[in-house]
Amino acid sequence: MVKPLKKALNKEMTAGTDRTRCKPKEKLWSGRFKEPTSAAVESFTESISFDRRLWRHDIQGSIAHAHMLAAQRIITAKEADEITRGLESIAADITAGAFTFSTDLEDIHMNIESNLTSRIGDSGKKLHTARSRNDQVALDLRLYLRDEIRSIISLIQGLEETIVTIAEQHADVIMPGYTHLQRAQPVLLAHHLLAYVAMLDRDRDRFSDCLRRMDVMPLGACALSGTSLPTDRAMVAKQLGFRAIAINSIDAVSDRDFAVEFLAASAVLIMHLSRFAEELVLWSTEEFRFIEISDRFTTGSSIMPQKKNPDVAELIRGKTGRVYGNLISLLTLMKGLPLAYNRDMQEDKLPVFDTADTISSCLAVMTGMMPAITFNTARMKATAGEGYSTATDLAEYLVRKGVPFREAHSITGKIVFHCIKNNIGLESADLAVLKSFSPAISADVYSILDPASSVRVRTSYGGTSPGEVRRQIRHYRNVLKKK
C-alpha cells in the first residue's frame, strides 16, 4: 500500500468521532451527499499533487469562459470583471508561491474555484455555469500540450540547426559507413550526421500534425451533452486561439487521442535520439576512438581514476524506456473506457507530463552536448578504407566494363577472399592476380579502390559525394529558415 493512503487509513481508523467535531472543507459537489469523504478516498482520488501544473491554463480558460458568459448575459459584466480580477490575483499568488493547494479540494479546478469564491463571494459561484470539470480538464490539457508542443518543435529545430552546422564544419571528413555494425562503405561524416537531421525533420512534422489535430476546443460540451444555456463556444475558441471547435459534445470530453498522439510522436522522437546517443557511446569507446565528448558532458568513476563515461548519452538512451512506457500506459488506460468521461482519465496527466519533461530535457542536453564533441577525423579516415570497404566500388567498376552485376559481385567476393587469406588490402593486390579473376580488370582499377574516390563518385541523388552532401546541407538550411 502506498504510504499516503496507508497513513490516511490509519488516521481514519484511530480518529473515532473526531472527524465530526472537525468539519472538513465542503466539496463543491457535496449537495447530494450526507457523509464526508473517507480520508483514505481523499488521499486516493486527489490529483492536485500533479495537476497543479495546469493552473495557468485553467485560469486562462476560466477568464475566457467568464467573458463569454457576460457577453451572453448569463452573468453580468460586473461579475465577469470580479471573476477576472480574482483569477488574476490567484495567478499572481501562485507565481509568488503564496497559494496553498488543498488535497481536500481534489484537483486544480476545484482549488482555484473554491479560492476564487472565498475572495470575491457569490460571483465566484457563477463561474462554473455552463461547464463541467469534464470539458474543463479536456480544455486545460489541450492548452497545456499546445504550449508544450510548440516548445518541443522549437527544441527539435534547434537540435537540427546544431547538427547541420557541425555537418557543414566537417563536410569533407571521410568515415566508415556501417551495416550490421560491420564496416560497409566509406561515407562522409556530414552525410552520416544529416541522416539524423532527416529523422528530426520528420519528428518536427509529426508534432506539427499533432498540434493541428489538437487545436480543437472542447469547452462548452459540459459533462457530455452540452447545455440549455445560450453559450457562444465560437467566442471562447477565438479568445483562446483555437482553430476549431469540437463538433460532438460526447467526443469532446472523452477524447484523449491528442494526448496519445503526442506520446506516440514523442516515442518516435526519443527513439531517434536514443539511436544517436548509442552511436555517440560507441564512437567514444577506445575501440572506435571517433570522438571525444567534452568533460562538461561526461562523468568519472568512483573507483577507476582513468574513466571518462558518456553518461549523458547513456541517460538519453535509458530514458527512452520511460517514454515508451508512458505511451503504453495511456493506450492501456483508454482501451476499455465506455463513453463518455470516466475517472480513469485522471491518470492521463502523469504520462503526458513526464513525457513532455523528459523529451524536452533530452533535446536541450543533446543540443548542448553536440558542439562540445571533438571528432577524431584522422582516425575516421584511417578506418574508412579498412574491412575491404571499397569492394562495392570494384564490383561497379566491373559493371562499367560490361560484366553483369551478379558476375561482378561473385568475382569481387573471390578477390576479397583471396586478400583476406593473404592478409592484404584490395589496393595492395597485384594486378596480375586481379586479372586472373577477370580479364576486364586493368591498371585503372587502383584509382577506384581509395576511400576518397569511393566517396567522390557516389553522386546519385541523396548519396555521399561531397557535392550531394553540400546540396543536402543547403536543403536543410532552407527548410529550417522557413519554419
The Cα–Cα gap between 148 and 410 comes to: 55
Strand partners, 216: 244
Characterize the bridge pairing of strands 182-188 and 174-179. antiparallel
49 is catalytic: no
475 is catalytic: no
The Cα–Cα gap between 15 and 23 comes to: 13
Q: Which of 151, 225, 301, 428 is catalytic?
A: 301
The Cα–Cα gap between 111 and 27 comes to: 10
For the chain, the distance separating the N- and C-terminal CA atoms, rounded to the nearest angstrom, is 49
Numbers of helices and strands, H then E, in the chain: 21, 6
Q: What is the DSSP secondary structure assignment for residue 34, as one 8-state letter?
A: S
- DSSP H stretches of helix in 387-441: 391-400, 405-421, 431-437
Chain centre to alpha carbon of residue 125: 39
Residue recorded with cell 522557413: 482
Chain centre to alpha carbon of residue 363: 8
The Cα–Cα gap between 16 and 478 comes to: 72
Residue recorded with cell 451527499: 33
| Residues near 245 by beta carbon (within 8 Å), at least 6 away in sequence | 216, 217, 220, 233, 234, 237
Secondary structure (H, E, C), 78-122:
HHHHHHHHHHHHHHHHHHHCCCCCCHHHCCHHHHHHHHHHHHHCH
| Catalytic residue numbers, as ranges | 180, 301
